[in-house]
Amino acid sequence: MTPKDIHSFARPEEAVVEHLSLNLNVDFNAKIISGTATLSIKNKTGANQIHLDSKGLNISSVVLDSGEPTSYSMADAVEYLGSDLTVAIKPETKKIVITYSTSPDAGALQWLDPAQTNGGTQPFLFTQSQAILARTWIPLQDSPGIKFTYDATIKVPSNLMALMSAENDTTLHPDGIYRFNMPQAIPSYLMALAVGDLQFRSLGPNCGVFAEPAMIEKSAWEFADLHDMITSAESLYGPYAWGRYDVLVLPPSFPFGGMENPRITFATPTIIAGDRSLVALIAHELAHSWSGNLVTNATWNDFWLNEGFTVYFETRIMEKIYGKDYADMLTLLSLGELRETIKAMGDTSKDTHLYLDLAGRDPDDGVSDIAYEKGRFFLTSIEYAIGRERWDAFLNSYFKKHAWGAIDTKTFLVYLESELIKGDEKLRKQINAEGWIYAPGLPANCPEIKSTELEKAGNAATAYKSGIPAKTIDTKGWTTHHWMYFLRNLNDSLDLKKMKELDAAFGFTNSGNSEILCEWYQHAIASGYEIAFPNMEKFLMTVGRRKFLKPIYSELAKTQKGLEMGRQIYQKARPGYHAVSIQTIDGILGLKK
Ligand SMILES: [Zn+2]
């Protein structure tokens, strides 16, 4: 029995969508997608209506089966959720054909002008449906517990390529018509479309990369280990279930690091660092092919079941390919971030529970590091308690048993009890699942993480703070992660003189690495190091990834002067950001109405 999803109007227990067939035209001039969505439904109870989700869609007609018109009503919009679209059906109805168009401000769609792309000559469109934005471009049952197959015919300008979370062709179609088939059932938040000037490079028998021509070589080089990642993942938790695994490198305004759209991960170009140091993000999106895409959180309150499992799995892939020292660096950095998040939220905040209560909120607003990192450390703590071999056996059976379905937190706990704890009172206490899931902060059994590599960077930071010159620090062999840890451990100790000295020694202001820049700019703002500001402004004007925007704008908002500067930059940058980032930054800069 699936729990009620408070973020959807669907009533799948009455009538549920089983297949979606799209026939859409993408109009870059009007910034509108229009056409038909044909929903194949199963009427379980002989219901006389079906409830769908829609937000900002203009519906022009709804017909049943072979063209018989039917009545429908669009209820008043509810904040964040949009409208309950109710269509009159008959007990024997098999299909509903909805003719509609999107509105120009549809939250899932980001329309980029040529200037916002790498090539600079062609426009670009990408979708971001998670969490509840699919309903802004398709009328459907927008709830993660409802899975359906789909096919699509998409018409785009003839010089652009279209890709979907489905079987993709790798070549340009001169007529601009692309046909897609997705034979495996997916939840609505994995509906995805991208249209742009794109090329493809193969990276192995079942994987490759799509990117704009200007980025394709760099991207192919950066993701050279993609095939290794897939075989490593399979050796851990079973066969990859989706056929091909490709990565699409998007223009920089993409609000997330990556989005695990099945068969084709959408990724930010900010991970193309030129040294393969930020590819853990690809391991993360790949891991979602099991946790999330195959075994899906039933509601957004159960989001940790998607993300906690995925971060855990990601780290195991990274350990398998790059070794334990490398994985330990990533894990310790994340633990530091998690502690900061909990400190900022307050260690009694209910938002630090793994199981969330997102009633009345946009799920995109309510999620934080907690689902990802507290979720991961919960799973790591179980591994430590019972040993890796037993834990991996449990995970293998967990993925197999729940594949192609959805799971909520309660069901997970029952499964954990029946398959792992098995009445062992001592083990139950030791694992302390209730403490992790339904209580705030970090339980006492949170694993301690040691990283000998990061210790070097931490010691260097301590030495620098105690007065040794920057240029005498031995940074040979340092990776992005050493630098991040070094910069984080300088805390707020930097005055202008020290900032200048560090910049002269290590060239931070001119770094090409987005993670290092993000740390550096926060120091620059705190210390008033204005030399870095022009580059920071350029960064904020081009990069739309919320993970970077959030700390930089937050640091700016700490002082009146900074807030004014932040608002000035934001005014120019905002039109280039995705709705997801805008929602967050509006809040930080006090611009929410
Ligand atoms: Zn994820």
Q: What is the CATH number of the domain that holds 421?
A: 1.10.390.10
Domain boundary among 235, 265, 289: 289
**pLDDT value, residue 365:** 80
**pLDDT value, residue 115:** 87
What's the 311 CA to ligand 1 centre distance in angstroms?
7
One domain, residues 480 and 418: no
The residue type found at 113 is D
Give domain status of residue 6, yes or no.
Answer: no
One domain, residues 504 and 563: yes
**CATH number where 237 lies:** 3.30.2010.30
One domain, residues 374 and 512: no
What is the token pair recorded at 151? Answer: 């096919």
Alpha carbons within 13 A on the beta-carbon side of 15: 23
What is the token pair recorded at 73? Answer: 């009503």
Domain boundary among 450, 473, 507: 450
- Evaluate whether 555 touches 527 at the Cβ level (below 8 Å): no
- Long-range contact set of residues 390-396: C-beta below 8 Å, sequence gap at least 24: 390/420, 392/236, 392/237, 394/419, 394/420, 395/236, 395/237, 396/237, 396/238
What's the 88 CA to ligand 1 centre distance in angstroms?
37
One domain, residues 98 and 177: yes
Give domain status of residue 485, yes or no.
Answer: yes
Q: How far apart are CA 375 and CA 306, in angstroms?
A: 9
**pLDDT value, residue 366:** 76
What's the 129 CA to ligand 1 centre distance in angstroms?
14
What's the 308 CA to ligand 1 centre distance in angstroms?
8
One domain, residues 504 and 408: no
**pLDDT value, residue 364:** 87
Domain boundary among 435, 450, 465: 450
**CATH number where 486 lies:** 1.25.40.320
Residue 120, number of CB atoms within 10 A of its CB? 12
What's the 306 CA to ligand 1 centre distance in angstroms?
7
What's the 433 CA to ligand 1 centre distance in angstroms?
22
Q: What is the residue whose two structure tokens read 């139950």?
A: 428
One domain, residues 365 and 461: no
DSSP string, 310-325: HHHHHHHHHHHHH-HH
One domain, residues 138 and 40: yes
One domain, residues 315 and 432: yes
One domain, residues 279 and 396: no
**pLDDT value, residue 102:** 98
Give domain status of residue 5, yes or no.
Answer: no
Distance of CA 134 to the CA centre of its chain: 14
What's the 576 CA to ligand 1 centre distance in angstroms?
24
Work out the angle at residue 138's Cα, subtended by the Cα atoms of residues 132 and 141, and round it to the nearest 5 degrees. Answer: 60
Active-site residue numbers? 285, 372
Give domain status of residue 520, yes or no.
Answer: yes
**pLDDT value, residue 220:** 98
One domain, residues 266 and 399: no
What is the token pair recorded at 468? Answer: 């040794």
Exposure string over 457-479, b if 16+ CB within 10 A, otherwise e: bbebbeebeeeeebeebeeeebb
Q: Identify which of 396, 358, 352 has the alpha carbon closest to the alpha carbon of residue 371.
A: 352
What's the 126 CA to ligand 1 centre distance in angstroms?
18
pTM equals 0.96
What's the 313 CA to ligand 1 centre distance in angstroms?
11
Give domain status of residue 93, yes or no.
Answer: yes
What's the 62 CA to ligand 1 centre distance in angstroms?
36
One domain, residues 211 and 328: no
- What SS3 class is residue 464? helix
Residue 75, number of CB atoms within 10 A of its CB? 13
**pLDDT value, residue 385:** 97
Q: How far apart are CA 542 and CA 573, in angstroms?
A: 8
What's the 104 CA to ligand 1 centre distance in angstroms?
28
Burial of 570 (0-12, 13-18, 19+ CB in 10 A): buried
What's the 460 CA to ligand 1 centre distance in angstroms?
32
Work out the angle at residue 300's Cα, subtended by the Cα atoms of residues 241 and 548, and round it to the nearest 5 degrees. Answer: 85
Range of the domain at 203: 198-289
Q: Both ends of the chain: CA-CA distance in Å?
A: 39
**pLDDT value, residue 592:** 81
What is the token pair recorded at 405? Answer: 């379905």
Give domain status of residue 111, yes or no.
Answer: no
**pLDDT value, residue 2:** 66
Give domain status of residue 65, yes or no.
Answer: yes
**CATH number where 72 lies:** 2.60.40.1730
- How many domains does the structure of the chain reveal? 4
Ramachandran assignment for 38, one of left (phi > 0), alpha (psi -120 to 50 degrees), beta (any other): beta
Q: Identify which of 231, 238, 181 has the alpha carbon closest to the alpha carbon of residue 403.
A: 238
What's the 106 CA to ligand 1 centre distance in angstroms?
23
- Evaluate whether 297 touches 303 at the Cβ level (below 8 Å): yes
Give domain status of residue 179, yes or no.
Answer: yes
- Evaluate whether 427 touches 433 at the Cβ level (below 8 Å): no
pLDDT along the chain (593 residues), means of 10: 88 98 98 98 98 98 95 97 98 98 96 92 97 98 98 98 97 98 98 98 98 98 98 98 98 93 97 96 98 98 98 98 97 97 94 96 88 98 98 98 98 98 98 98 96 97 95 96 97 89 97 97 97 98 96 97 98 92 94 80
Q: Is the Cα dihedral 534, 537, 538, 543 positive or negative?
A: positive
- Evaluate whether 534 touches 508 at the Cβ level (below 8 Å): no
Cα distances from 173 to residues 122, 159, 170, 198, 475, in angstroms, run 16, 8, 9, 12, 50
Ramachandran assignment for 210, one of left (phi > 0), alpha (psi -120 to 50 degrees), beta (any other): beta
Q: What is the residue whose two structure tokens read 């469109």?
A: 125
Work out the angle at residue 208's Cα, subtended by the Cα atoms of residues 27 and 156, and round it to the nearest 5 degrees. Answer: 10
The residue type found at 484 is M
What's the 563 CA to ligand 1 centre distance in angstroms?
31
One domain, residues 143 and 228: no
Q: Identify which of 182, 186, 183, 178 has the alpha carbon closest to the alpha carbon of residue 158.
A: 178
Non-local CB neighbours of 513 within 8 Å, separated by 6+ positions:
273, 277, 278, 480, 483
Strand partners, 207: 204, 245
Q: How far apart are CA 484 and CA 336, in angstroms?
A: 11
What's the 67 CA to ligand 1 centre distance in angstroms?
41
